[in-house]
Amino acid sequence: MPYRFYGSETPAVRPITKEYAAIRDQRHLYDLLSDIWCEYSCAPRLRPEWSESNKTLGQCSVTAFLVQDIFGGEVYGIPLEGGGFHCYNSVDGVTFDLTSEQFGDKKLTFDCQNVQSREEHFVSKEKYERYLYLKRELIKALSEK
């Protein structure tokens, strides 16, 4: 399957905990999350535009912090018009963004300058609940394999 997310061609990163040892690399995680991302896990303001054909829409921060749980590294943000950040990951010098497809052909700058913290993002109870949902569903998917 051809992957279209930013960094899909980069070297594989591996899980840092036994809980996620069954995940082979970031491409495998993308495959797993593709069956989990849904309207509920999408940011509420973007739900009207969410669709099966654009599964990564509104999934960036909750996905990036889950990626950090699995592979370690840092979560960074690309400043967006109107405020806020689009989140992505960098692990041991490997930068990738599992949710970059939502931007289509728009060129994003992945410069690893704006570190994002889960404390800041998860001040929003709604966002934290979406993150927990992804995490629960991923663990469930792994247990069924």
Domain limits of the chain?
A: 24-144
Q: Return the exposure string of 81-104: e unless at least 16 CB atoms fall within 10 Å of the residue's CB, then b.
A: eeeebbbbbbbeebbbbbbbbbbe
Average pLDDT of the residues in 87-105? 96
Measured between its terminal Cα atoms, the distance across the chain in Å is 19
pLDDT at 145 over 70: no
Question: Taking all residues of the chain, what is their mean pLDDT, rounded to a whole number?
Answer: 95
Evaluate whether 11 touches 94 at the Cβ level (below 8 Å): yes
Q: In the structure encoding, which two tokens stand for residue 114, read together?
A: 């704006």
H-helix or E-strand spanning residue 90? strand 85-91
Which residue has better confidence, 106 or 96?
A: 96
pTM above 0.85, yes or no: yes
Amino acid at 49: E
* Each residue's pLDDT tens digit, 6-31: 999 998 999 999 999 999 999 999 99
